[in-house]
Structure 1
Amino acid sequence: MFSFIFILFLLNIITNYSLISNKKFIISDEYLGNTGKHLFHFVHITDIHISHFGHADRIQQFEQFCNQIIKTLVKPQVTIVTGDLVNSVSSSVDRLFGTEQYEEEWTIYRDVLIRTNVTAYTKWLDIKGNHDAFMDPDPDSSKSFYRIYSHQGHNHSGSYEYTLRTKDDDSYSFVAVDMCPRPGIGRPFNFLGHINKKEMKILKKLYEKTKNSTSTIFFGHYPLSFTYSNGLDQIMKNGIVYLNGHLHSGIKHLYARHSNGLLELELGDWKDKRRFRILTIDSGLLSFEDFRFNQPIYAIISNPKAAKFLTLREPFYRISQSTHIRIVIFSNLSIQNVIISIDEQYIGSAIQSKDNQNLFILPWNTNLYNDENLHKIFVEIKDIENNTVTLQHEFSLSLPTITKWNRSKLILTIHQPTFGFIILISSLCIYIFVLLYYRYQAKQNSCPWYFGYR
């Protein structure tokens, strides 16, 4: 009898251990594991500047982008377009200040969307930029070209939101922030954005509507430092990123992490540089890469995420609990090899995930790197025609690591209207000081003659 009870006891222990082991496996593989679960990607493009004064290649390649990148290769569920859809600039000698709304440019933009039927393949979220509002007396009017010819303008005159729910029970909210001045004015007076009280009330409602989403992405044309408006910190407090354009990447890699944890990522233009961005949200962690059109391979390291973009607004602890390194790859040709090294030591070759053809995975032991130090991951990707792409960045498995920033911090984190005002006042003070100095010098030089005459 005792032996029978003892056997039952052992069976109970073995059963419970098996259940616990399986549960642990499910938990560990739920996020950042060997499947495509909780992996989401989308595309960002900005500053298209469609013009009817030449630049036919710009329009032709934009159409190719819609057909080849959006519809065929990357196939994002969401594509965001952050303004300056059209150019609205005169071709005359007054190009610096000559601005006007040209209906022909708007019809070209609309016709590209119709010909490619791209909006049937992705949720096309466009919003106006300062060029789209040049000399528009009433941008909110149904007669505004943006309202007539853009994709979202039919339903939204300004800010709006779109929420996508996935089969993994994740919800991704995209909030468009319209900062264009009303009424629309010409160059250079709408270079800075502004949100009026009416638009702020709309944004507060959108905040309430999206605050419980898995991830919230804000996007608009103007960088936050180029707006007069207050209150956006509160509106965006649940967002993981704010995406914008406007500056055309005069400074490369114009990215910043604000003191409140919000990432701000400016993107180079389509107009001259033919740039676009692919972003992934992998188990709540946002990663991205900026690309030029017509590259053979587009790839992003989604785990481990780059240390300089880690933020407390994301569940960064999942990196240390992850079971696999994860690389998201889009290529027209079959991938031959994905070689991964960490700290100059070969780790292995990633293989294609069983349920997502764009995801390549490699098991790893996070305990080897969970030491509060920065480590460098290096990935070499090669397709069957030997086209090769390399990716690398520093990562950390502990607290979000503060890393050095370039000039982006000056541009994106300092309030430019205030900075400009300080420069103006400082210049006036220097000018007055110089005038007083030379007046004093002149008076000193004239004094001996003056007293001698007297």
Structure 2
Amino acid sequence: MASELPLPLLALLFLVLLPPLCSSWRPADDDDASVSRSVFPMDGDVAWVVQVSDLHISAYIPERAADLALLGTALRAIRPHLLLVTGDITDAKNQQRTTSRQDEYEWVIYKKTIDTILGRGSIEKSRIFDIRGNHDTYGVPHRGGELDFFSTYSVNSQLKRLSTISSILLQGDRSYQFLGIDDTMSVGIRFPANLFGHPTDKRIEAVNSELKYWTNHSKTPVTKVIFGHFPMSFTTSSEKGQRYESVFARQSISAYLCGHLHAKVSKQLWRYHEVRTTEGHKSSFWEWELGDWKDSRLMRILAIDGGAVSFIDHTLKQALQTSILVTYPTDSRSMNMLESEKWSMRNDINVLVFSHQVIRNVSARVFDSHSEFKIVEEIPLQLVASSSVHRPLFHAKWNAENYRSPSPTRYWLQVFVLDSHGVKISSEQRPFSVEGKMAIPTSPWLNYLVFEVQWEDMYQLLMWSNMAFTIVLLCSPKLLYHFVSRSSSYQRWSVSVLSSPIQQRKTSFWLIWFLMEGTRSKPFWLCLVIYVLWLIEMPWFWGRATSENGEIAQMYLSGWSIPFYDGGLTGNKLSNPDVLVITLPFLYLVVAPVIVLIYGLFAEKSIAYLRRSRRIEYSVDLENMHAESVRLLPVAPRALLMKFPDKLVSMTIQFCGSWTRRALLLACLIIAAVHLKLCSKLMSAYGTVPVALSPPLTWMPLLLLGAAAYCTNVHAD
């Protein structure tokens, strides 16, 4: 019989699980947390900046870089105080997008494109601030090395601003601080396990200190805006469990600007954070993700007007014509702050109008949504006199008391512009609240999932939920079978469950029987237990985690262990929870289904044995009865009837007894195909030979399924 695993195959399963020899371990050094400071003058108390993100300049898709000419044209009309490039400057992917590597040619294109924009005189080079994204660190073993092209071709590098924190102050009647944070990994893991921002305790403390610095050293009120590449939902905690949200709340920032998630993932990823500080006070700030330039050609204009922050996003599929940004009052759905003691009602309307044409007329209309959006008031706006030629600020006075309302969306504002060519342009209607009340709309489920779920915590929940389910699946039925099998009642109970009519069979009894039958094969159950324990603590596979010529590294459930050039290994695991894109599909789509299918194969085998024994008993009884009934018939009909029941019974039992097994074997083939697909992607990313020679990941699921299919083949006995 093949009811138990053959000894040679059992030996093979144990041999492939032998751990590799490991090098010595040592803790990794912390990242640099230095700060570069820049100060620029500002006219008045209104400032505006432009943000672009996720350029993904590619050697294989030249249109992305070529279309940056549209950004250059827009900058000539906008004349921003700053240009912020918030990460993923280059694509760092091959043409098939199966693997990642730094391409110097893409960085050369970026530098030439920025130089072309600067040549048009739309902005000074010193006012451009670019930071790394995860694509800009794919495969970079360490910063400052030969593969770290950001350190050579970025604007920040050319101006010697390679600190991980860029502090920028715009000084005028008020002070506006922009703080850029580079939270990319210190060791750039290759795609796909490079997805999260990784702040360190040093950097978080440095950010906290820098936000304090300008508050203490500025003679005017300071409005603070942070920009980075990673959303808060894709930013991990530090080694000591610190997070940025508490620092941002404690230092009363107004907004955090980011990119990373792209417009195709979801729309308008805006999040309002309310955080209770350690002092017990409640503070808040906005988080606004900007969609990508890569496919959507998005650009954001953000303005600060007397401390009030507002923005408008543009899709630059063609040259920017005219842009209207209402800087005050702000949109009550996405830009207001909660009412507080600091709130003061302002009796003015301010609008920035950016255009290549001369603006002849600007007016604003107020609508009442409670009266079918009838016009309540129309207000002409005048250009504010300024010493700066490029300050297109239009202003009007109004009586804000007229628009007090318990509803933050009762009154709506729309601005109309007429240029010198007679072209009329209008802004979108948007609600406002002169009292600063909020009307945050409900986020769609996809927006909530990708932007408001803390994926660091979600990974731990999903991972350990799966592991807990797997351990319970292995241990509980084994313990139950151990206690039940001590008495001689298990076989009788098993037969009674299978023999009872379908209507009387309870699902719980079937499930218990199914699980216990799956654990009856001791060698298989032991192999599964060892395999799961390996997946929890030991390396899954080995591959080139950084560059194509980098050292072979080990990937664990908790992250990567990356070799240093001196041959040691990092004491902590890098790229956690970034490995979720590898581990979760493997755990949920391969490991758990493999265990369930193995249980199913062994349970089906027990059913097949029961049916076989019943068929034998039935055949003996049938032959006795049939011989007696056909004894008086002629010879020819007697021979025919003797053969017919045997064929019918044989065909019926074979059909009824095989469809379940065929379904299980088909499911095994599907899981094997999914597994091989996952492995092929990892081979493309981290090297074919190292991943292929990593049995815990590549071969064990296939070996387990193949061995279970062989050992449960009743017809081979």
TM-score band (shorter)?
Answer: 0.7 to 0.9
Give secondary structure in 2 for the equivalent of 1:347: strand
Counterpart of 2:155 in structure 1 is: 151
- Alignment identity in percent? 24
User: Offset at 1:376?
Assistant: 2.9
Give secondary structure in 2 for the equivalent of 1:153: helix
Counterpart of 1:103 in structure 2 is: 104
The answer to whether the 8 Å contact 1:78/1:123 transfers is yes
Q: 1:141 to 1:202 in 2, by over 3 A?
A: farther
Counterpart of 2:365 in structure 1 is: 340
Q: Give the number of the structure whose residues are more often strand, by fraction.
A: 1
User: Offset at 1:196?
Assistant: 2.5
Residue type of the alignment partner of 2:285: L
1:162 lines up with 2:167 in the alignment: yes
- The farther-off stretch of 246-255 and 111-120 is 111-120
Residue type of the alignment partner of 1:105: E
Counterpart of 1:17 in structure 2 is: none
Residue type of the alignment partner of 2:328: N
The answer to whether the 8 Å contact 1:113/1:119 transfers is no
Give secondary structure in 2 for the equivalent of 1:299: strand
The answer to whether the 8 Å contact 1:77/1:121 transfers is no
Looking at structure 2, the residues matched to 143 and 188 of structure 1 have their Cα atoms a distance apart, in angstroms, of: 18
Counterpart of 2:381 in structure 1 is: 351
- Of 385, 399, 404, the residue aligned with 1:370 is 404
* Structure number with bigger Rg: 2
Looking at structure 2, the residues matched to 84 and 314 of structure 1 have their Cα atoms a distance apart, in angstroms, of: 37
- The farther-off stretch of 101-110 and 358-367 is 358-367
| 1:134-184 Cα deviation digits (max 9, x unpaired) | 11111255872111110113423342233334332x222211111111111
Looking at structure 1, the residues matched to 355 and 233 of structure 2 have their Cα atoms a distance apart, in angstroms, of: 36
1:246 lines up with 2:270 in the alignment: no
Looking at structure 2, the residues matched to 285 and 128 of structure 1 have their Cα atoms a distance apart, in angstroms, of: 28
Structure 2 unaligned regions, length at least 5: 1-42, 276-283, 478-507, 518-602, 615-717
Counterpart of 1:26 in structure 2 is: none
- Of 235, 247, 257, the residue aligned with 2:272 is 257
Give secondary structure in 2 for the equivalent of 1:156: coil
1:388 lines up with 2:425 in the alignment: yes
Looking at structure 2, the residues matched to 207 and 167 of structure 1 have their Cα atoms a distance apart, in angstroms, of: 18
Give secondary structure in 2 for the equivalent of 1:317: coil
The answer to whether the 8 Å contact 1:227/1:417 transfers is yes
Q: Give the number of the structure whose residues are more often helix, by fraction.
A: 2
Question: How many positions carry a matched residue from both structures?
Answer: 409
Counterpart of 1:62 in structure 2 is: 68
Looking at structure 2, the residues matched to 75 and 328 of structure 1 have their Cα atoms a distance apart, in angstroms, of: 12
Counterpart of 1:218 in structure 2 is: 226
Q: 1:112 to 1:313 in 2, by over 3 A?
A: farther
Counterpart of 2:457 in structure 1 is: 418
Q: 1:199 to 1:166 in 2, by over 3 A?
A: closer
| 1:319-377 Cα deviation digits (max 9, x unpaired) | x2x22222221122234453412313241143232315522233321111223322332
User: Offset at 1:216?
Assistant: 1.4
Counterpart of 1:227 in structure 2 is: 235
Looking at structure 2, the residues matched to 385 and 338 of structure 1 have their Cα atoms a distance apart, in angstroms, of: 15
Give secondary structure in 1 for the equivalent of 2:456: helix
Q: Output the TM-score relative to the length of structure 1.
A: 0.81
- Of 323, 329, 333, the residue aligned with 2:347 is 323
Looking at structure 2, the residues matched to 101 and 131 of structure 1 have their Cα atoms a distance apart, in angstroms, of: 8
Residue type of the alignment partner of 2:350: R
Looking at structure 1, the residues matched to 230 and 191 of structure 2 have their Cα atoms a distance apart, in angstroms, of: 15
Looking at structure 2, the residues matched to 143 and 314 of structure 1 have their Cα atoms a distance apart, in angstroms, of: 49
Looking at structure 1, the residues matched to 322 and 268 of structure 2 have their Cα atoms a distance apart, in angstroms, of: 20
Q: 1:417 to 1:269 in 2, by over 3 A?
A: same
Structure 1 unaligned regions, length at least 5: 1-35
The answer to whether the 8 Å contact 1:163/1:174 transfers is yes
Looking at structure 1, the residues matched to 339 and 262 of structure 2 have their Cα atoms a distance apart, in angstroms, of: 27
Counterpart of 1:440 in structure 2 is: 512
Looking at structure 2, the residues matched to 399 and 295 of structure 1 have their Cα atoms a distance apart, in angstroms, of: 31
Q: Output the TM-score relative to the length of structure 2.
A: 0.53
Residue type of the alignment partner of 2:431: E
Looking at structure 2, the residues matched to 273 and 404 of structure 1 have their Cα atoms a distance apart, in angstroms, of: 24
Counterpart of 2:309 in structure 1 is: 286
Q: State the superposition RMSD in angstroms.
A: 3.1
